[in-house]
Structure 1
C-alpha cells in the first residue's frame, strides 16, 4: 500500500494583520476579516522564497524519519511562485537534502493544487516500483496585487510529503481528480500579480470542482462523510472550506484541526497540504482523513487516507522531532504595511 512515510511543514514567523492592510487601503477591517474569516497572514522574510520554504519543509519531514537518501528517486515541487521561470526548484531541494544526482525532478504548476498533483505522481512512481521514495512538495510565496482582495490572504508557507510503500504512517487508500478548463484565476508570463474572475472563483471555480472530486471519491469508495474522522479542503479563506464541508455533509469538528487559514492565510499550493499536516499532527492510529485540494484553471484532487499504528511508534517515526503546524504558527513577529511591502518586494529599497 502506497502512503505517507513522513511529512513536514514550514511557515515563516512574520505576519501582517488584516486590519493593517485594510488601514492602508481604507477598507473596513471587520468586513474583511468577517467575510473571509482570516485575521492575519504569514509573510516571507527578505531572503525567503518558494525554494527555501520547500527545502525547510522537506528537511522537517526528514527529521521525523530517517529516510535513505539513495532511495529518494523523485522530487516534485508544486508552486505558482517558483523563483525561476527556467531553473527547477526541485533540483535545489534535492541538492539541499543530499538526494542528488540519482532522481527524477521537476516543478509543477496547477495553481493551488500543484502540490497534491505531485503527491499523485509520486504515488504512481512508488506503486510501479520505479522509485522507492518520492517527495512531493507544495510551497508558495503567494502573490496579491496591492489593494486587490487577494492581498488580504496571499501568504507564504509549504509542506513536504515523503511517499513510499514500506511502513507508511498513513496509507493512501485511493485518489481521484476532477478537472475542467475554467479560467477563474490566471497570471500570464511576465506579469507580477495574478488576476481573478471575481465571484466566478467561487462558482463555477472552487465549489464545482471540490464537490466534483469529493463526490467522486465518496462514490468510488462507497463511503459517506460520517466514515471519516477528519476532512481537509483547500482553504483560500475560512468561508469556502467551511461552506463546502457543509454542502458535502462534513461537520465543523471534522475540518477544525486542518483549518489553519485564519492565522496563516492562503499558502496556495501549500494550503491543503499544510492543512493535512496539521491534521496528521493530532491524528491517532486508525483515523481516516478525507482531503480535497483545488487549483484554479481548474481542478481538484481528492484523497482517502487511513492513519496507521506507526504514527505513534517513536522507534520508526518521531512526530515531535520537527515542529508541528501549531508550533510554526506560534510566536509571530508582526509587521506594519511598509515592512510587509518591503518583505514582499512591492517596494524596492535602493542602496
Structure 2
C-alpha cells in the first residue's frame, strides 16, 4: 500500500531578532558570527506563543490547505524538545483544537530535532497497516539557548505539520521510502528541571550531525538504488546555514538542489520544525513529478531520511494556506531586552 503526504502546513511567529543585536550585548563580533553560522536573524515567539500554539497553527494550516475533514485524523503526534508541560501531552491540546477528538490516538515525541520526522514515520506505519485513516505529525519548538551561549544565536521558534494518508488520489507527495540511522551519541542534552540545554561543542558536528545525516542519507539511497542526480531538491536539518551546505556537498548534492529549502539564514533553527520547515518551503515551489530528498537530524543521536515524489495534486492545494516565504515576510524586529522578556530570560 502506498503512503504519502496528503497536506502540509507551517507557522512562524512574526517577531525576529538580528544576530548583531545579540552579539552587541555579549561583546561578540557580529560579522564573524553571521559568516560562520550563516544565520542573519532568528524568529522569536510572542508572549502568548509556545510549542502548543505553534503546533495548533501549523496543524490548522495543513487541514485548510487540502480541505481535510479533521474527524478522519486518527493519530496526532507532536515532536518537540520544548513541550510546555513535563507531564501533560501537547498532542491532546492540538487534537482538541483541530476537532480530531475523541476517536484517535495521541502522543508526544522527543528526539531533539528529529522528533517531528519520527512522528511522520509512526503515522506512515499506522495508515499503511489500516489502523488509522489519516495521521498528523508535527514538529514544533520554541527552542532554548542560555544567555551568552552559542545556541542563543540560532535557537528559534516555529513548526510544520504533515498529514499522512494512504489514498493515492489525495496525496500531494508519495513517500517512496524512509531510512533511519541511530546511535547513542550524547552531543546535546537537557536534564529534567534545567532551563537550558548543554552541548558537546565541537562534538556536535562530528560524531553528531555529519555521521548521522550521512549515515541515514546513504542508507536510504543504497536501499532504494538512487543517487543525488535522481533528485530535483534536497533538504537537510538546519542547525545553522553552514552544516546543511557542507553535508549536501559531502553527499554529492548541489547548492541549487538545497536552495529552495534553505530557510535558516532568515529563520534560525526551529529544532523539531527545522527539516520539516525546509521540506514545506520546497513543496511550496515544487512541480508535479519532482523528487525531493530529505534528512532530519536529532542530537542523541539519529537521522531520518525520506524520498518524496511530488504528484499533480500539489498544484490544486499549494496556495490554500500560507507558504513559508509568506510567513517569513514582514517581520517585527525587537531588541535584546524585549527578546529576553519574550523568552522568559528575565525572572521576577
Measured after TM superposition, the shift of residue 70 of structure 1 is: 2.2
Following the alignment from structure 1 to structure 2, what is the Cα–Cα distance between the partners of residues 45 and 70? Answer: 30
Following the alignment from structure 1 to structure 2, what is the Cα–Cα distance between the partners of residues 43 and 10? Answer: 12
Measured after TM superposition, the shift of residue 321 of structure 1 is: 1.6
| Equivalence for 1:310 | 313
| Equivalence for 1:252 | 255
Number of matched pairs: 345
Q: What aligned pairs does 1:200-211 form with structure 2 within 5 A after superposition?
A: 200-211=203-214
TM-score by length of 2: 0.98
SS of 1:56's partner is helix
Measured after TM superposition, the shift of residue 48 of structure 1 is: 0.1
Partners of 2:63 and 2:70 within 8 A in 1:
no
Q: What aligned pairs does 1:156-235 form with structure 2 within 5 A after superposition?
A: 156-166=157-167, 167-235=170-238
Following the alignment from structure 1 to structure 2, what is the Cα–Cα distance between the partners of residues 50 and 69? Answer: 20
Following the alignment from structure 2 to structure 1, what is the Cα–Cα distance between the partners of residues 131 and 50? Answer: 31
**Residues 52-104 of structure 1: CA deviation (Å, up to 9, x unaligned):** 00000000111111212221110000000000001100000000010001100
| Equivalence for 2:148 | 147
Following the alignment from structure 1 to structure 2, what is the Cα–Cα distance between the partners of residues 164 and 242? Answer: 31
**Residues 280-311 of structure 1: CA deviation (Å, up to 9, x unaligned):** 00001000000000000000000000001111
Following the alignment from structure 2 to structure 1, what is the Cα–Cα distance between the partners of residues 300 and 163? Answer: 27
Partners of 2:127 and 2:133 within 8 A in 1:
yes
Following the alignment from structure 1 to structure 2, what is the Cα–Cα distance between the partners of residues 214 and 60? Answer: 29
SS of 2:300's partner is coil
Measured after TM superposition, the shift of residue 165 of structure 1 is: 1.0
| Equivalence for 1:129 | 130
Q: Does 1:347 align with 2:332?
A: no
**Residues 237-284 of structure 1: CA deviation (Å, up to 9, x unaligned):** 000000000000000000000000000000000000000000000001
Following the alignment from structure 2 to structure 1, what is the Cα–Cα distance between the partners of residues 214 and 220? Answer: 10
| Equivalence for 1:19 | 20
Following the alignment from structure 1 to structure 2, what is the Cα–Cα distance between the partners of residues 15 and 243? Answer: 26
Following the alignment from structure 2 to structure 1, what is the Cα–Cα distance between the partners of residues 199 and 307? Answer: 30
Measured after TM superposition, the shift of residue 8 of structure 1 is: 0.2
| Equivalence for 1:118 | 119
Structure 1: unaligned runs, 5 residues or longer:
none
Following the alignment from structure 1 to structure 2, what is the Cα–Cα distance between the partners of residues 309 and 68? Answer: 21
Following the alignment from structure 1 to structure 2, what is the Cα–Cα distance between the partners of residues 138 and 69? Answer: 18
SS of 1:95's partner is helix
TM-score by length of 1: 0.98
Q: Does 1:138 align with 2:142?
A: no
| Equivalence for 2:77 | 76
| Equivalence for 1:88 | 89
Runs of 4 or more, structure 1, over 4 Å off, are none
| Equivalence for 2:322 | 323
Deviates more, 1:132-141 or 1:65-74: 65-74
SS of 1:257's partner is helix
